[in-house]
Amino acid sequence: MNLVPLLAKLVLPARPGRPGGRPGPAVRPGRRTARRAVGWFIAAAVGLQAGAFLAIDVVWPGLRDPEYARRVGRLRERIAENPGRPVVLVVGSSRASMGLRPEAWEESRPARADHPDPLLFNMSLVGSGPMMELMCLRRVYADGLRPDAVVLEYWPPFLREDGPYFEPDRIDHARLSDRDRPLVREYFARPAETERLMLRDRFHPLYETRHRLMAQTLPRWQPWDKRMEMAWGMLDEWGWLAGLEEKYPPDPKARGVRLAHCGKIYRDQFQGYTIHPLAKRALRESVALARANGTKVAFAYLPEATEFRSWMPPAVEQAAQGYLATLCRELDIPLIDARLWMEDGYLVDGFHLSRQGAAEFTRKFGPAVAATFPDLRRGP
């Protein structure tokens, strides 16, 4: 709809009369009322857009990416409650998000007075590969947080970046803000197009971010295929995202259905598998960024079930393990290899831990982190 003629009629003064001095027709009161109504409507629409812009970009920037923002808020709270304890962030995908349950570490840690135990916090974002891990780390430091150590998830399936597996295509432009522009320009396939969409998101916030706003206010009003609050709706105070509630040992039939579904997906992904240069670059950049901020770094390979490992052809296994060894050697980084730690029944689909499995895993992972960083102390 072209609003220019309408605005011209509302703003420009009316002509005093027709050519030749003849008076123009009288304006009907109803027409004046209609014009005022349209004017108020336009003013209200502009005001709402401006208010939404200020709310999302100035007052409550976390509305744009609640999954990240809620974790950061809870991280600040845990740090304030635990002064003096060295902070260790675990950054990874949904496997880490659902797999690391720091509350279980809090219940079982030694709590020695002479050597403060690491404060584990789960900063993983659903869908993260190396690029989203880098995005998360950049935001953490931009927000003024200085963890003492970072554990980065290493997972071979997300190191493939060709075709449908290109990680930036999983990143919704509506969750990006100005501080993410360097990542867009460095790693996205069409950065100019993504930045254009980001600009549109900012200046049409009520429409372009409607799904995210609805997900944070009235999530049940959304169709099931549009709901996104599952990425943050079940977060606990330590950043853990509760996964599937399944007792151990699991129901073989239900687990078999999930394995059959996921097996098809990952067998296809392992066909023609290569580790992409962009994934390699992002992994190394995350390490460099952490170290530049005085943060120690380790890699973690999280648990996989026997079934999942069987989906990986020998050539893929060799390539993934070889590259991991190269990274650890060249960058002098320790590895927490937890791939075989858990019995298959705790992995509900072959690679995500159940709620019970997450607690059992974290009781092992916490001591491993403490052993990996034995001299860790809280920085200034």
- 332-344 pLDDT, tens digit per residue, is 999 999 999 999 9
Does residue 225 form part of some domain?
no
| CB-based contacts of 101, cutoff 8 Å, min separation 6 | 122, 236, 238, 240, 355, 358, 359, 361, 362
| CB-based contacts of 285, cutoff 8 Å, min separation 6 | 134
Q: Are residues 71 and 170 in the same domain?
A: yes
Q: Are residues 39 and 152 in the same domain?
A: no
Q: Tell me the DSSP string of 343-365.
A: -GGGBTTSSSB-HHHHHHHHHHH
Q: Are residues 264 and 321 in the same domain?
A: yes
How many residues can be counted in the chain?
380
pLDDT at 92: 98
Does residue 89 form part of some domain?
yes
Q: Which among 358, 359, 360 is positioned nearest to 95, based on CA atoms? A: 358
| Structural domains of the chain, count | 2
pLDDT at 206: 64
Does residue 4 form part of some domain?
no
Q: Are residues 40 and 132 in the same domain?
A: no
pLDDT at 8: 41
pLDDT at 24: 54
Does residue 109 form part of some domain?
yes
pLDDT beneath 50, residues of the chain: 1-15, 53-54, 58-60
pLDDT at 229: 78
State the chain's maximal CA–CA distance in angstroms: 99
Residue 352: CATH number of its domain: 3.40.50.1110
Q: Are residues 48 and 136 in the same domain?
A: no
pLDDT at 290: 98
Q: Are residues 132 and 48 in the same domain?
A: no
Does residue 20 form part of some domain?
no
Q: Are residues 134 and 71 in the same domain?
A: yes
pLDDT at 13: 46
| CB-based contacts of 51, cutoff 8 Å, min separation 6 | none
Domain that holds residue 81: 64-175+231-372
Q: Which among 336, 379, 380 is positioned nearest to 361, based on CA atoms? A: 336
Q: Compute CA distances 222 → 65, 127, 141, 169, whole Å.
A: 18, 21, 34, 23
Q: Are residues 305 and 292 in the same domain?
A: yes
Beta bridge partners of 153: 300
Please give the structure tokens belonging to residue 70: 């809620």
pLDDT at 56: 53
Q: Which among 373, 341, 377, 374 is positioned nearest to 360, based on CA atoms? A: 341
Q: Are residues 291 and 324 in the same domain?
A: yes
Q: Are residues 148 and 241 in the same domain?
A: yes
Q: Which of 14, 44, 60 is the last residue of a domain?
A: 60
Does residue 244 form part of some domain?
yes
Q: Which of 18, 43, 60 is the last residue of a domain?
A: 60
- pTM of the predicted protein model: 0.83
Does residue 7 form part of some domain?
no
Positive or negative, the Cα torsion across 43, 44, 50, 51? positive
Does residue 145 form part of some domain?
yes
Q: Are residues 38 and 128 in the same domain?
A: no
Q: Are residues 171 and 135 in the same domain?
A: yes
